[in-house]
Amino acid sequence: MNRYPLWKYLLIAVSLIAALLYTLPNFFGESPAVQISAARSTAKVDQATHARTLAALKAAGITPDERIPDVTSFKLRFHDTETQLKAKDVIQTALGDDYIVALNLLPQTPAWLAKIGGKPMFLGLDLRGGVHFLLEVDMKAAVDKQLEKVAGDIRRELKDQKIRYGRVTRERESVSVGLRDEETLARAAGAVRRVLPDLKVEESRNPGDYRLIVRFSPEAQIKLQNDAVAQNITTLHNRVNELGVAEPIIQQQGQGRIVVQLPGVQDTAKAKDILGRTATLEVRMVEDDQQKIADAFTGKVAPGLELVPVAGVRSGQGSAELLKTEVELTGDNITKAEPTYDQNNNPVIGLSLDSTGASIFRTLTRDNVGKRMAIVLVEKGKGQVITAPRINAELGGSFVIEGGGMTVQEANDISLLVRAGSLAAPMNIVEERTIGPSLGKENIEKGFHSTLYGFIAIAIFMVIYYRVFGFVSAVALSANVLLLLALLSAIGITLTLPGIAAIALALGMAIDSNVLINERIREELRNGMSPQMAIQNGYGHAWATILDSNITTLIAGIALFMFGSGAVRGFAVVHCLGILTSMFSAVMVSRAMINLIYGYRRRLTGLSIGQVWVPQQKQA
Amino acid sequence: MEFFRIKQDIPFMSYGKLTTAISLLTFIVAVFFLVFKGLNFGVEFTGGTVMELRYAQPADLNQVRGAVDNLKYGESQVQALGTTRDVMVRLPNIKQKTSAQLSNEVLTALKQQRGDVELRKVEFIGPSVGEELVSHGLLALALVCIGIIAYLAIRFEWRFAVSAVIANMHDVVIILGFFALFQWEFSLTVLAGILAVLGYSVNESVVVFDRIRENFRKSNLRGKTVPQVIDNAITATMSRTIITHGSTEAMVLSMLILGGPALHGFAMALTIGIVFGIYSSVLVASPLLLMFGVTRENMVKPVTVKEEAVV
């Protein structure tokens, strides 16, 4: 009767084997590698880059152990750190500044394990070493900045519509426009609603005081804040790329916060400096005088002119354009840049300018119809011409850039970078942490040792106290570790030191279920039950208790997860998962083993569960 | 081997007055320390900069303190961290300087004094984060309590739920009392530890309650009074209580001894929490249950309803 149907044994066996497989990648360690990725939106890591890299390495007499091409990067594995460092220098010289060549550690997961999704646990900064920043986006400033723009837009629109208006003032959360009478108020309201459909426009009428109050609707305000955070994250991504960090983490945390984690970086000052830099867009006029162009290409650039390379040389364009050094417009005046399509379904970049930008641009295009202007992307102080279109007519506050034969990816990248050029709102560092690599190693070691010795102590005690049942409990506990580690590795949860503590605690608490079961079986035996019945009832009675106690613990764990941040959250995730795996292993795995050991014996006279003491005089 | 050869039910409930008095006293003492000494909040809560340094040779704390004081940052702390070679420096937030500047200045000053110093960790927390942590921590605590009360009220009865939560809050306050008394640093991981104790300790009460409920339904215990039923339940689970807690405590002690300074506060909170968890679930939660006037009918009635529903 203490037998499981075959499918249950199979289920348990399969889950344990799967757990073993997914835990395995953690034991293969890491090997030194070099990671190549594009430093600019216009550079691509493609077959040509691969070939150049490999040729350069071959010339230097270095052979990589493995090549791992990726969508956005190219990774090369090396035998030891010395070769890795040498290779990094060789590749950096060969590829130049357009590419980031970063040192990295790659897991040595065998290919067959990687194929089924096996990967080692991702270690948190406290275990790997690195820098952690928590940045807070100044939402008030973001709203202020937008309101400034709204005020400018309103002024411009009213001027264009020839509606007379009084003072345009920006108050705390709104813009107010003074108007002369009922009629102008109605016309102004209509005009503003048409150009700024996302905003809430209120008309306030007091005798002698007609005004229009424009504010963000709650939804618009939320969207604005989300956009501000999203834009700042994009900006940070681009800047962090310059640091050459292999696996940076940049994530939104809560409403207006951004976490930046840079594993392996020790120099906070440099990191902060680079996070503070920008990439911008410039509009400059093209010099089309053929004589000057010819001179420039032979090395005689006339004063006030500059030869700027064209990004990703395309058909019909030269390798460089001769531009006037004078900058007509900068990216600071760009409020929006997004990839779209033109009427012929070619990818283009849609740009919107703020009111100042728009009026400058209008004058510029009106005065220069028939001439060419260049859109220049300036990164790391170096410019590249994205496109140099001919001006056909006067252009207003929003227009599109058509780079002859631009791909969708390029349109995406460029608009992202233009957006990334500036921060939507200033950010303050509210938290900063630097952990040395030696401390990280020590943390892993200490966490591992304390878990191991605690586990050994518990296992020894269980075997002595409960004999065969104790052994089964210890095996169930190991199964729990295995399942937990497999789950953490497979889901890709970042393991931190509190996470290790949670693993240890999960083991300490998981044994509770087995103690409950074993004590219950002993008690049933004490009350004179047959061994088979004792097993049956022991597990049955203990289950209700195990469920109740685990669910209450889980409630605490979930609350921790919901309200915790950083260290607490890392603990809570592992804690909750540990409770779930322990319910499976302590009940199912141990029962299956007991069933296999005892369930198939016909005449079972006793259980090896340690001495069961029966009181002499039985109480009622 | 069997550790607990208990011939008769131990009359725990007759000690009720005594244990309640002891609990009340420890509780009041803990509150006293919390109020008059206060918690030594870690940098996560107060804001500021913490540096962890390691010297190749044992460091002279007074010398380090002198060097840091010379920089005149205001109220800064220098203390040993586990070993004589590890030193922790805590600096207040200074408006005009970023934490990177602060830590660089301190490190340069210390390097001039002795070259064998190595920077192991820098942590900077802005002042606004701390307040949020406190409010989130309290919110988590409240949510845990409500969740547990709700679950136990559904599975058992409100009397069980309320006594379990009171018993556990008593544990939490006592742990906090210890941290106040010894002025151990109260960090974010300690908070995690305390909230884990809350879950763990309820678990303990639930095991006893489960047994009480079962006893109420047992026919051979029908003639017994409520205190006798509770005594029987506690005695029956005694062996399990001690063994389970012994195992968990072994794990936690292993963390306390081998886990290093990073896990110290967490392990300490759990060590104290587990010891008081046993005490409170046996000697606080159950007498409270009695005080709230639990009767057999409270538990048995819903079961008949349940059985009908199943049929």
Contact B143/A559, CB-based, under 8 Å?
yes
pLDDT digits (tens, 9 = 90+) for B145-163: 888 889 889 888 888 899 9
pLDDT for the residue A315: 47
pLDDT for the residue A181: 83
* Chain B residues within an 8 Å CB radius of A572: 192
B56 CB within 8 Å of a chain A CB:
no
Its sign, for the CA torsion B103, B105, B108, B110, is: negative
pLDDT confidence band for A618 (50 / 70 / 90): very low
B218 CB within 8 Å of a chain A CB:
no
User: Which residues lie closer than 8 Å to A141 by C-beta, 6 or more apart?
Assistant: A425, A426
pLDDT digits (tens, 9 = 90+) for B157-183: 888 899 988 888 888 999 999 999 999
Nearest CA of chain B to the CA of A182: how many Å? 48
User: Which residues lie closer than 8 Å to A480 by C-beta, 6 or more apart?
Assistant: A506, A507, A510, A578, A581, A582, A585, A586
Contact B257/A433, CB-based, under 8 Å?
no
- In chain B, which residue's Cα lies nearest the Cα of A439? B120
Nearest CA of chain A to the CA of B193: how many Å? 9
Over range B117-137, report the average pLDDT: 79
* Chain A residues within an 8 Å CB radius of B266: 498, 501
H helical segments located in A256-336: 268-275, 290-297
Look up residue A576 and give its DSSP letter: H
Chain B contacts in chain A segment 244-273 (CB below 8 A)? 268-269, 272
User: Which residues lie closer than 8 Å to B108 by C-beta, 6 or more apart?
Assistant: none
User: Which residues lie closer than 8 Å to B103 by C-beta, 6 or more apart?
Assistant: A268, A434, B49, B51, B119, B122, B124
* Chain B residues within an 8 Å CB radius of A547: none
Q: Check pLDDT > 70 for residue A422.
A: no
Nearest CA of chain A to the CA of B125: how many Å? 4
User: Which residues lie closer than 8 Å to B15 by C-beta, 6 or more apart?
Assistant: B283
Chain A contacts in chain B segment 227-256 (CB below 8 A)? 236-237, 239-240, 243-244, 246-255
pLDDT digits (tens, 9 = 90+) for B260-290: 888 888 999 999 998 888 888 788 888 888 8
Q: How remote is the C-alpha of A501 from its chain's centroid?
A: 25
Q: Check pLDDT > 80 for residue A333.
A: no
Choice between A84 and A620, residue whose per-residue pLDDT is larger: A84
pLDDT confidence band for A404 (50 / 70 / 90): low
Choice between A152 and B107, residue whose per-residue pLDDT is larger: B107
Chain B contacts in chain A segment 125-154 (CB below 8 A)? 126, 134, 136
**Strand extents, DSSP E, A180-274:** 199-206, 209-216, 249-253, 257-263
B221 CB within 8 Å of a chain A CB:
no
Q: How remote is the C-alpha of B131 from its chain's centroid?
A: 21
Helix, strand, coil in percent for chain B, rounding step 5: 70, 10, 20
Choice between B257 and A440, residue whose per-residue pLDDT is larger: B257
Residue in A560, A562, A573, A612 to test binding to B, most B beta-carbons within 10 Å: A560
How far is the C-alpha of B230 from the C-alpha of B226, rounded, in Å?
6
Q: Other C-beta atoms within 10 Å of A217: how many?
A: 11
| Strand pairing class (B48-55; A373-379) | unpaired
| Strand pairing class (A122-123; A494-495) | parallel
- In chain A, what percentage of residues exceed pLDDT 90? 17
pLDDT confidence band for B307 (50 / 70 / 90): very low
H helical segments located in B61-98: 61-70
Contact B124/A442, CB-based, under 8 Å?
no
Q: Give SS3 for B111.
A: helix
Look up residue B83 and give its DSSP letter: E
* Chain B residues within an 8 Å CB radius of A610: 1-2
pLDDT for the residue A603: 80
* Chain A residues within an 8 Å CB radius of B199: 552-557
Poorest-confidence range of A106-115, A149-158, B92-101? B92-101
Over range A93-104, report the average pLDDT: 78
Contact A508/B151, CB-based, under 8 Å?
no
Task: Return the top range by mean pLDDT from A200-209, B143-152, B213-222.
Answer: B143-152
Q: Check pLDDT > 80 for residue A403.
A: no
Nearest CA of chain A to the CA of B192: how many Å? 5
Measured in residues, chain A has a length of 620
Per the CB < 8 A criterion, the answer to whether A275 and A239 are in contact is: yes
| Strand pairing class (A130-137; B48-55) | unpaired
Choice between B67 and B175, residue whose per-residue pLDDT is larger: B175
pLDDT digits (tens, 9 = 90+) for A535-578: 999 999 899 889 988 888 888 888 888 877 767 888 899 999 99
pLDDT digits (tens, 9 = 90+) for A12-64: 999 999 999 999 988 888 888 888 877 666 677 888 888 888 888 888 888 88
pLDDT digits (tens, 9 = 90+) for A257-313: 888 888 877 666 667 666 655 456 778 888 888 888 888 888 778 777 888 887 765
pLDDT for the residue B277: 84
Q: Check pLDDT > 90 for residue B114.
A: no
A568 CB within 8 Å of a chain B CB:
yes
Phi, psi angles (nearest 5°) of residue A99? -120, 150
Crossing angle (nearest 10°) for helices A139-160 and A355-367: 40
pLDDT for the residue A478: 95
Q: Which of B192, B211, B257 sits opposite A564 (nearest CB)?
A: B192
Contact A430/B128, CB-based, under 8 Å?
yes
Q: Check pLDDT > 50 for residue B9.
A: yes
pLDDT digits (tens, 9 = 90+) for A129-141: 888 888 888 888 7
Contact A571/B246, CB-based, under 8 Å?
no
Contact A505/B122, CB-based, under 8 Å?
no
* Chain B residues within an 8 Å CB radius of A505: 196, 248, 251-252, 270
pLDDT for the residue B152: 87
- In chain B, which residue's Cα lies nearest the Cα of A272? B100
Contact A450/B257, CB-based, under 8 Å?
yes
pLDDT for the residue A139: 81
Q: Check pLDDT > 90 for residue B76.
A: no
Average per-residue pLDDT for chain A? 82
pLDDT for the residue A352: 83
User: Which residues lie closer than 8 Å to A385 by C-beta, 6 or more apart?
Assistant: A308, A309, A310, A311, A320, A321, A323, A374, A375, A376
Q: Cα–Cα–Cα angle for A416, A418, A423, nearest 5°? A: 95
